[in-house]
């Protein structure tokens, strides 16, 4: 069983996005179920973020089905970044954002949390 954790900045991201996307909590529960079965990168849905210089595997999920984005399906534009610690059976959610509000993940946030 994989343990899920969230950093404080991730919770803040969720709180802000929940105002716009009311189904986000439910959508994240679905994502957790999928990640629990297949936690590693699975192109074209998720990719490893390389060249960070840290031990854990950091993955960016590019296709999240969000019920609040009707008609968009899995191409909703929501992005999720998490670190997967295989040996510890642990996943830490780092960041969630909409691609229209931000183009790429916050590498500084990732590095600052795992230094």
Q: pLDDT for 33-89, tens place per residue?
A: 999 998 988 887 889 998 887 777 899 998 787 888 765 554 567 899 999 998 999
CATH code at 46?
Answer: 3.30.2310.20
Of residues 68 and 95, the one with the higher pLDDT is: 95
Indicate the average pLDDT of the chain.
Answer: 87
Share of the chain above pLDDT 90, in %: 50
End-to-end Cα spacing for the chain: 26
Phi, psi of 26 (to 5 degrees): -65, -40
Expressed as residue numbers, the domain containing 58 is: 3-114
Does the pLDDT at position 108 exceed 60?
Answer: yes
pLDDT of residue 60: 93
Provide the number of structural domains found in the chain. Answer: 1
DSSP summary character for residue 40: S
Structure tokens at 3: 């343990």
């Amino acid at each position: 069983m994989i343990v899920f954790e969230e950093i404080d900045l991730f919770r803040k991201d969720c709180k802000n996005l929940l105002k716009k996307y009311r189904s986000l909590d439910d959508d994240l529960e679905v994502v957790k179920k999928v990640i629990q079965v297949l936690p590693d990168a699975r192109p074209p849905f998720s990719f490893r973020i390389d060249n960070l210089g840290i031990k854990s595997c950091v993955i960016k999920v590019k296709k999240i089905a969000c019920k609040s984005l009707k008609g968009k399906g899995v191409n909703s534009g929501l992005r999720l970044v998490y670190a997967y610690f295989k040996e510890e059976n642990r996943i830490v959610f780092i960041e969630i954002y909409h691609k229209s509000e931000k183009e790429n993940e916050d590498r500084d946030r990732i590095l600052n949390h795992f230094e």
